[in-house]
Amino acid sequence: MKKIIRILSIGVLMASCTDLTENTYDVIPTEKFGSTPAQQAALIGPLYNRVGNYWPTLFWVYPSTDEMMIPTRGGDWGDGGQHVRMYTHTWDAIQDNGRFNGIWTWCYDAITAINLQLASVNEPSTVAELRALRAFFHYIALDHFGNVIIADGVSSGNPPQSTSKQVYDFIEKELLEIYPNLSETVGGAYYTRFNKFVVDMLLAKLYLNAETYTGTPQWAKVVDYTTRIIGSGKFSLPSDFFSTFSVNNQDSPEIILATAFDKTKRTGFNIQMPVLHYRQQLEFNIGNSPWNGPCAVPEFYYSFSDDDIRKNMWMVGQRYAADGTPLYDDDIPLILNPEVPALVMPGGADTRVRGARCAKYEIQKNNPLSSQDNDFVVYRLGDAILMRAEANLRLGNTAAALTDVNVIRERAGVAPYTAAQLTLNELLAERGREMAWELHKRQDLIRFGKFNDPWRFKPASPAHTKLFPIPNDQLKLNPNLKQNPGYN
């Protein structure tokens, strides 16, 4: 209950809180509730449950990057070729509609629920928090689809489509307007909630990618807003890199925003299931057989030097059962091999062991359930530090950039960069090693102009794939929506 207690502490008032796995968090009768500021604040709680779908919604488009692949192994993970299409940027607006529609509906279902709540709320800090949440979901939609809908109130009919620039301006205006009414409290009742520092980070992300969204860079603003976070004294880098991703990571001083999970009460974080080899069920003594799917792109795995502490996030080599007995797949030792010879491989034990598996988030041992207790980290201090470094480097402030990057490298146990070594390409590589599998690499590659480059088993892809197609289901529902260029 450790995380559920935190969720309840933000005011989810319900007659019974013993079963929070039902999909009814956002259904709250307001006829007799919400007349006082405290009651209005309590109504925010259920809406945060929607933020909790950040990881399970976005994880499955992450193989569009140079960090993750889901190779077909015989009859496993063929799935109609969808994972191959995602990796090679050959997705189809109709054939892959479900994947993209999942992101769209996640964002706009949340926005609709927030707008309904805003219609009955007038307490300033509560209104501010709700508008920050609404801006966050608009930002996710903007980042993935570009020309989307601005939904700033309850309405009927078919809303118009806005340009990326218009959506960017709306998000910026919303966040700047509500900022003074947000709390500066970190942790406790504000763990997983939007306070001033979360909004600082959201604004910094918006400005970091401003050139992608609007054509105009905003590097100085990135420096300003990340400095608010770094200089606040509210956050720090723990000496143990992996503690921020441990099973009990809720007290990490690095976390700016996380989504709370609990293996029985707020389920859904189950990264160990897709990534582990089937037989690794015995290694961690878990109750369900994993699925043996996503793994590291080999070149990405090889980008970690042996002295880099972060390389320990990858499981390679001989695997052992919990009692120390070597594991086998058929009659072959279960030796996870980072080398992947093809995107589509034949069946057999040799192909089943291909690919380094990610254990950045601690695998919860002796867990009889499919979900884990780790909270998923959306924003953290290490990211803010590297964002400031990038902005300063692009502004020509190499010394300031070098100081920030080397703070990150020192914790990783690797040698500091010199000024001559710190190029933009090297900074992108360092961001990759630090932020691996945290769902930021797609926008990083786009920002650095690398998303459409070729990499292993992926040829150069057309520029229009930097945006996903507007889901076909949404085009049918709303005639005011026009498909993104390149998908017609």
Beta bridge partners of 296: 68
User: Residue 89 pLDDT > 70, yes or no?
Assistant: yes
Go through the domains of the chain in sequence order and give each one's CATH number: 185-258+379-436 (1.25.40.10), 272-376 (no CATH)
Q: Is the pLDDT at 11 greater than 60, yes or no?
A: no
- The 10s digit of each residue's pLDDT in 63-81 is 999 999 999 999 999 999 9
Instruction: Say what the pLDDT of residue 35 is.
Output: 62
Whether 25 shows a pLDDT value over 90: the answer reads no
* Residue of 185, 216, 221 lying closest to 201 (CA atoms): 221
How many Cα atoms sit within 13 Å of 204 on the Cβ side?
Answer: 28
What pLDDT is attached to residue 249? 98
Q: What is the mean pLDDT of residues 298-319?
A: 98
- In this prediction, residue 45 carries a pLDDT of 82
* Percentage of residues in the chain having pLDDT higher than 90: 89
Secondary structure of residue 310 in the 3-state scheme:
helix
Question: What CA–CA distance (Å, rounded) separates 90 from 82?
Answer: 9
Helix H or strand E segment including 153? none
Give residue 357's identity as a one-letter amino acid code.
R
Residue 31 pLDDT: 54
Residue 167: what pLDDT?
A: 98
Furthest-apart CA atoms within the chain: distance in Å: 67
pLDDT digits (tens, 9 = 90+) for 433-477: 999 999 999 999 999 999 999 999 999 999 999 999 999 999 999
Reported confidence tier of residue 156, pLDDT bands at 50, 70, 90:
confident
Question: Across all residues in the chain, what is the average pLDDT?
Answer: 93
Q: Which tokens is 251 given?
A: 């007290």
Backbone angles phi, psi at 377, to 5 degrees: -90, 115
Indicate the pTM of the whole model.
0.92
Q: How confident is the model at residue 33 (pLDDT cuts 50, 70, 90)?
A: low
Is the pLDDT at 483 greater than 70? The verdict is yes
pLDDT digits (tens, 9 = 90+) for 173-220: 999 999 999 999 999 989 999 999 999 999 999 999 999 999 999 999
Q: Provide mean pLDDT across the span 303-320.
A: 98
* pLDDT confidence of residue 39: 74
User: Per residue in 327-372, pLDDT tens?
Assistant: 999 999 999 999 999 999 999 999 999 999 999 999 999 999 999 9
- Within 10 angstroms of residue 232's Cβ, the number of other Cβ atoms is 14
pLDDT of residue 154: 85
Whole-Å CA distances, 226 to 65, 77, 129 = 25, 40, 20
pLDDT score of 27 more than 60: no
* The predicted structure's pLDDT at residue 166: 98
Other C-beta atoms lying within 10 Å of the C-beta of residue 180: 10
Cα radius of gyration (the chain): 22
Average pLDDT over residues 97-115: 97
pLDDT in tens, 230-282: 999 999 999 999 999 999 999 999 999 999 999 999 999 999 999 999 999 99
d(CA 389, CA 381): 12
Q: How confident is the model at residue 43 (pLDDT cuts 50, 70, 90)?
A: confident
The pLDDT score that the predictor gives to residue 46 is 86
